[in-house]
Chain A
Amino acid sequence: MTPALAATAIVVLALLWEVLHPWAARKLEIRKANRARIAEGEGLPGYDPGRERRAEQRARELLKSCVNDEEWAMYRDLGFIRVWGGESGSGSDAVISRDLRGAPYAYLVYPHRPIVAYLPQTGRLLNEYCVEFPDETRPYGSTRLPDSDDVLAKWMALKGDERRLISEANMHLPGRQIDPKMLQRDIWRLGRWERERLERAARRHPVGPAD
């Protein structure tokens, strides 16, 4: 019995070796090649975390100098900006849907994520608009703008020509790329953030009974 089991085990091991050896050899070769590339400075083409941090810092300063104080504080505290829709002079109709019948709508603008349209009154999510601003000159191998530049580009395009931006975007139902639960939480965080901001402002400038 024991010799038979041993023979079976040897056969199984031999078969496994046959199957796994080429795979393991290939993995090893890839790993060696990657190590060699990294040693030669070719790991991630031109990626320099220090430079990216400095670029993001400059982008934040530019964003701060362009948007309203409230929007800057929103981005700093919450990581996104809300932009009201239908304000860019793109026509009297709502850009995203005629079915809204004049209901105010807004967009949540995140860095390098789709723009999300929603109804602030009800919190109902409307659409995701996937849009990028790829710089094909790829100065350091990447087409990707710093986070805050991406947000500013979306903000300016929505403010300046909402219809043009939305027409360039790929539209999807909510939930395609961003978890709707996260969006609902962000809408809730935004509401709380605005209430706290209003309360702070009221404490700073109390209104007397005679006013």
Chain B
Amino acid sequence: MKFLRMRPGYGEQLIAEGDVEVAEDEERLVEEFRSQLEQGMWAAVPVKTEAGRREAEMVRAFEDIPRTTDRVIFFPRAAGGAA
């Protein structure tokens, strides 16, 4: 599983990678996931439906990430703009 983060001037950055079936990796991923959310990021998982449509799911906890997901994308949380 890869954690990608959108950043100005970079596009996406790989911030963590690991196998969720390996306890040590999973622990590191959980920590990184929490850290990103504490920094004000939102997390989304690209998914494919049974009909083959691409969709996205927002995840608020590491446990919500489907185990088979190969990437989680972090991006800054939304804020009302140009009021």
Contacts and interface: CB of A to CB of B under 8 A. Distances in A.
Interface of A: 46, 48, 51-52, 54-59, 61-62, 65-68, 114, 130-140, 142-146, 149, 152-153, 155-157, 159-161, 164-165, 168-170, 177
B57 A133 contact: no
Contacts of A133: 6, 75-79
Given A59-B12, A140-B8, A168-B80, A145 B44 contact: no
Nearest to A138: B8
A160 B75 CA distance: 13
A145 B75 contact: yes
A56 B6 CA distance: 11
Contact of A62 (B4, B53, B80, B81): B4
Contacts of A145: 6-8, 75-76
A48 to B, nearest CB: 8
A131 B56 contact: no
- Chain A to chain B: the 7 pairs with minimum beta-carbon distance, closest first: A58-B11, A160-B58, A132-B81, A170-B80, A156-B56, A140-B9, A156-B44
Given A135-B7, A149-B75, 6 more contacts: A56-B11, A59-B11, A146-B8, A156-B73, A169-B78, A170-B82
26 contacts: A56-B11, A57-B11, A59-B6, A66-B46, A68-B54, A114-B82, A130-B82, A131-B80, A131-B81, A132-B78, A132-B81, A133-B75, A136-B76, A137-B39, A139-B10, A140-B9, A142-B9, A149-B75, A157-B42, A157-B44, A157-B58, A159-B57, A160-B57, A161-B58, A164-B78, A170-B83
Interface of B: 4, 6-12, 39-40, 42, 44, 46, 53-58, 73, 75-83
Nearest to A62: B12
A159 B80 CA distance: 18
A142 B7 CA distance: 10
A161 B66 CA distance: 17
A133 B57 CA distance: 17
